Amino acid sequence: MARPPSNAATRKATTALMVTRLDATEGDVRQQRFDVVVTEEPLQILAGGPGQPSVPVTITMRTPGHDFELAVGFLWSEGILTAPHDVYEVRYCEVPPDEAQLYNVVSVRARRPLTITARTTVTTAACGICGTTSIADLERVCSARPLGSPVDAALLLALPDRLRGAQRAFDVTGGLHAAGLFESDGTLVCAREDVGRHNAVDKVIGRAVLDAQVPLHERILCVSGRASFEIVQKAAAAGIATLVAVSAPSSLAVQAAERLGMTLVGFVRDGAGNVYTGSSRVG
């Protein structure tokens, strides 16, 4: 009998299980076999500053891996962290000696006191900013993006294929979103995968915060799915002026990108795409 894959690069992001394979092309054929699915588990994010306890901020359903980046990126996107120097320590929470470390609680300690409003709902794989739906709310956190340098149309149209080449766990499961941060010349800086599209973006942004690279005015963000309002919000919070998506944007995403001076390109596939905002920057 076949054994579950044990690729170390995808072990945390994937789960092997037994399924019954149905195949009507050769009659009523049923076969027991292993399949690999994307792993989805909860992660609680805690945060606090000097003299403050670490308090719960949110619980997000995520694919394990790059959890520290996810926590920092989420706090940055929410405006709780505002400078890379804010981050003093990121760690998994300690557990009693008789309990197993499940690596499902991350605590971010800051160098300054933090103003934290805990969310009252779980952040699911489909929703990253539940309850935040107003462009006015976004503008209070993110000012208009600097226009940045012009971007080449052919380069923008090539980014999804370059991102797809970095989607290692997707190759195994077919069930993961991806986000990639690119230089203005198309060089891939960082790519992350997650069951939640917003988590993939937070992981990329969190890496940039930990590397003290924000704001990302000259970088381009490419996402494997649709461009929702939450993705625009997270890109804007990181200073990103150009967002490329394989699928469609929402109306609110387009409105937000327009108000914030961002270039938003959607439906980028097979060498074509739609520029929804900021077309003057696309050469």
Concerning whether 127 is annotated as a catalytic residue, the answer is yes
Q: Of 127, 142, 190, 222, which residue is the catalytic one? A: 127
3-state secondary structure the chain: CCCCCCCCCCCCCEEEEEEEEEECECECEEEEEEEEEECCEEEEEEEECCCCCCEEEEEEEECCCCHHHHHHHHHHHCCCCCCHHHEEEEEECCCCCCCCCCCCEEEEEECCCCCCCCCCCCECCCCCCCCCCCHHHHHHHCCCCCCCCCECHHHHHHHHHHHHCCCHHHHHHCCCEEEEEECCCCCEEEEEEECCHHHHHHHHHHHHHHCCCCCCCCCEEEECCCECHHHHHHHHHCCCCEEEECCCECHHHHHHHHHCCCEEEEEEECCEEEEEECHHHEC
Please identify every residue annotated as catalytic.
Answer: 127
